[in-house]
């Protein structure tokens, strides 16, 4: 890559590693679009890269630790290849800003969550001056919100960002501080993107944002999230719509009614509850009680029987006592989630909870998490076992990772199904009879043609 001591511009290679949520994955795709347009070539091997970007997450302390140890591994490459540039973007970059240079002295570039659009310019400046670059200012309107990430070649499903940022200020959550206030993309732009995706073979879109059900609420009279779902539901070729993540307090009756009205809206909702104790929910500033949550679940199930419901729970929030934890277990028993993502509370600088008294010890948090996960494993097993013998409509996404003669896809309830089949089925919806249930996936047999439901 080095010619006469200079970087060969035509052959610069880019390696991006991303941590964190789906929003970050989307951002990494946008970074890639911008840098490939500026002359970089993507590489899968960091050892061959001239520029490494680590797209960081800061949601829990563990994420920061993982990122720092990954950067340590990239440092070895930089010792061997001094012209290698290493940059960090995303939430931890926003969190630490220029302080990142103190923690990781061999870094060249730090850019915040609102500065993705400036990446080519910053990289160019790095190449010209050899100095360091840092930019973490917030923008009133995030320019990168409108950059359209390209779906992976041959993909059947993809994510479409509809909004970013968050105005909720849950006491534990660092996201509002790192992603800024809610900003929604205009509806016509989203529809244009989804139509293009449908033309490229995409059959399922997941509408993505930190709090999708407050989509559009920042502007009076503008279309809301339900209007958006209805409009996407009319786009030819899009057979399935999902969305993530939604906040229980903003789950309106109108949105619940969409499950009975929009044929392509899948029977699954991820609705993070965080705790089953009213005292804890109040300290978390969640804006609902456990009873409100139970009522929303009942309304969802009345409109859409069999809807799959997944959630997030935090154990060991400051002040959480055993009785509060028992209330969370009781809520789980009542609701019986299809799946649950559970976390030990992690103190994040800049959040309201970081300064709260009665922080819970590590050993108590670990024990509560163990108990909660054991209960959820029972519920997940029960839900998956209930699928045995059913015939499910499966959208085929690709060849199974473990079995080359098997195809993999998902049910409308978002369960993974593997079954013997041929790659010509990719992108089609087929009927699969479920013959085996594992903890996180199902196996089945495609129904004979004729009986099969194939688009």
The closest of 184, 185, 200, 186 to 238, measured between CA atoms, is 200
Query: Which listed residue (12, 13, 16, 20) binds ligand SF4 by CB under 6 A?
Result: 20
Residue with tokens 């499903």: 157
List the single partner that 23 binds among ligand 5AD, ligand SF4, none, CB under 5 to 8 Å by kind: ligand SF4
Interacting stretch for ligand SF4, rule CB under 6 A, among 21-29, 137-145, 331-339, 404-412?
21-29
| Residue 145 binding ligand SF4, by CB under 6 A | no
Full 3-state SS string of 225-251: HHHHHHHHHCCCCCCEEEEECCCHHHC
- Position 57 contacts ligand SF4 (CB under 6 A): yes
CA-to-CA distance for 31 and 28, rounded, in angstroms?
Answer: 5
162 binds ligand SF4 (CB under 6 A): no
Binding letters toward ligand SF4, positions 61-100, x by CB under 6 A: -----------------------------xx---------
Q: Among residues 243 and 419, whose Cβ is nearest to ligand 5AD?
A: 243
Among ligand 5AD, ligand SF4, none, the one that 91 touches (CB under a kind-dependent 5 to 8 A) is ligand SF4
Q: Select from 399, 453, 411 the least CA-distant residue to 430.
A: 453
Interface with ligand SF4, residue 24, by CB under 6 A: yes
267 interface partner picked from ligand SF4, ligand 5AD, none, CB below 5 to 8 A per type: none
Residue of 21, 27, 87 lying closest to 57 (CA atoms): 21
| Residue 343 CB, nearest approach to ligand SF4 (Å) | 11
**DSSP per-residue codes, 34-65:** HHHHTT-EE-S-GGG-SEEEEEE--SSHHHHH
Among 16, 49, 51, 59, binds ligand SF4 (CB under 6 A): 59
Single residue of 21, 208, 387, 399 touching ligand SF4 by CB under 6 A: 21
Contacts to ligand 5AD by CB under 6 A: 59-60, 172-173, 272, 274, 312, 314, 343, 345-346, 348
Residue nearest ligand SF4 by beta-carbon distance: 20
Does 276 interact with ligand SF4 (rule: CB under 6 A)?
Answer: no
Q: What angle do CA 435, 440, 442 make, to 5 degrees?
A: 15
The CA distance from 406 to 437, in Å, is 16
Q: Which is nearer to ligand 5AD, 251 or 396 (CB)?
A: 251
Q: Strands 109-111 and 85-89: what pairing?
A: parallel
64 vs 255, beta carbon nearer ligand SF4:
64
At CA 326, angle to CA 324 and CA 328, rounded to 5? 75
- The reply to whether 427 sits near ligand SF4 by the rule CB under 6 A is no
| Lookup result for tokens 């786009």 | 235
Which does residue 274 touch among ligand SF4, ligand 5AD, none (CB within 5 to 8 A, set by kind)? ligand 5AD
* Contact residues for 442 (Cβ-Cβ < 8 A; gap 6+): 384, 387, 392, 411, 415, 416, 417, 418, 434, 436
Query: Is 444 an interacting residue with respect to ligand SF4 (CB under 6 A)?
Result: no
Can you state the angle between helices 22-37 and 119-129, rounded to 10 degrees?
A: 60
Rg (CA), the chain: 23
How many angstroms separate the Cα of 360 from the Cα of each of 20, 59, 339, 349? 25, 18, 25, 16
- Looking at 358-451, list the stretches that DSSP marks H as alpha helix, in order from N- to C-terminal side: 362-385
Identify the CA nearest to 369 among candidates 332, 416, 335.
332
Which of ligand 5AD, ligand SF4, none lies near 52, with the C-beta cut-off 5 to 8 A by kind?
A: none
Nearby residues of 253 by Cβ (< 8 Å), 6 or more positions away: 299
- In the complex with ligand 5AD, which residue's Cβ is closer, 125 or 371? 371
Angstrom CA distances, 209 to 91, 179, 245, 403, stand at: 15, 11, 6, 34
57 binds, among ligand 5AD, ligand SF4, none (CB under 5 to 8 A by kind): ligand SF4
> Quick one: which segment of 54-62, 360-368, 400-408, 412-420 binds ligand SF4 (CB under 6 A)?
54-62
* 115 binds ligand SF4 per the rule CB under 6 A: no
Q: Which range of residues in 18-26, 139-147, 394-402, 412-420 is near ligand SF4 by CB under 6 A?
A: 18-26
State the binding partner of 311 from ligand SF4, ligand 5AD, none, CB within 5 to 8 A by kind. Answer: none
Give the binding range for ligand SF4 (CB under 6 A) out of 133-141, 171-179, 354-362, 384-392.
Answer: 171-179
Is 212 among the residues that bind ligand SF4 (CB under 6 A)? no
Footprint of ligand SF4 on residues 172-211 (CB under 6 A)? 175, 178-179
Which position's Cβ is nearest ligand 5AD?
Answer: 312
Residue ranges in contact with ligand SF4 by CB under 6 A = 20-21, 23-24, 57-59, 90-91, 175, 178-179
């Amino acid at each position: 890559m080095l010619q006469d001591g200079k970087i060969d511009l035509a052959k610069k290679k880019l390696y991006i590693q991303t941590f964190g949520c789906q929003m970050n994955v989307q951002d990494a795709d946008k970074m890639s679009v911008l840098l490939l347009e500026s002359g970089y070539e993507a590489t899968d091997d960091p050892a061959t890269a001239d520029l490494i970007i680590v797209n960081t997450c800061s949601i829990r302390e563990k994420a920061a630790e993982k990122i720092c140890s990954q950067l340590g591994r990239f440092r070895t490459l930089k010792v061997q290849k001094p012209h290698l540039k290493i940059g960090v973007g995303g939430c931890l970059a926003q969190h630490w800003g220029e302080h990142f240079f103190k923690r990781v002295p061999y870094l060249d570039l730090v850019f915040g969550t609102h500065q993705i659009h400036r990446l080519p310019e910053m990289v160019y400046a790095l190449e010209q001056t050899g100095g360091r670059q840092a930019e973490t200012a917030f923008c009133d309107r995030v320019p990168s919100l409108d950059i359209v990430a390209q779906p992976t070649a041959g993909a059947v499903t993809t994510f479409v960002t509809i909004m970013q940022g968050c105005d909720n200020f849950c006491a534990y959550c660092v996201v509002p501080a790192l992603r800024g206030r809610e900003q929604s993309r205009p509806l016509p732009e989203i529809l244009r993107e989804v139509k293009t995706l449908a033309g490229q073979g995409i059959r399922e879109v997941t509408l993505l944002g930190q709090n999708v059900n407050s989509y559009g609420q920042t502007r009076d009279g503008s279309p809301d999230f339900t209007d958006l779902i209805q409009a996407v539901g009319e786009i030819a070729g899009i057979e399935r719509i999902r969305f993530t993540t939604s906040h229980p307090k903003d789950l309106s009756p109108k949105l619940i009614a969409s499950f009975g009205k929009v044929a392509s809206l899948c029977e699954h909702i991820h609705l993070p509850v965080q705790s089953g104790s009213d005292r804890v929910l109040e300290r978390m500033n969640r804006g609902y009680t456990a009873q409100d949550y139970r009522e929303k679940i009942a309304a969802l199930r009345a409109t859409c029987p069999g809807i799959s419901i997944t959630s997030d729970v935090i154990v060991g929030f400051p002040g959480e006592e055993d009785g509060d934890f028992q209330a969370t277990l009781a809520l789980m028993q009542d609701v019986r989630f299809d799946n649950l993502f559970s976390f030990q509370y992690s103190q994040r600088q800049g959040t309201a909870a970081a300064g709260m008294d009665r922080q819970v010890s590590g050993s108590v948090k670990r024990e509560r998490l163990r108990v909660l996960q054991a209960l959820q494993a029972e519920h997940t097993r029960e839900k998956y076992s209930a699928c045995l013998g059913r015939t499910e409509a499966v959208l085929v996404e690709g060849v199974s990772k473990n079995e080359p003669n098997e195809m993999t896809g998902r049910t409308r309830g978002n369960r993974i199904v593997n079954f013997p089949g041929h790659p010509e089925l990719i992108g089609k919806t087929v009927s699969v009879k479920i013959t085996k249930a594992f903890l996180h996936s199902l196996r089945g047999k495609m129904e004979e043609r004729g009986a099969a439901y194939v688009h």
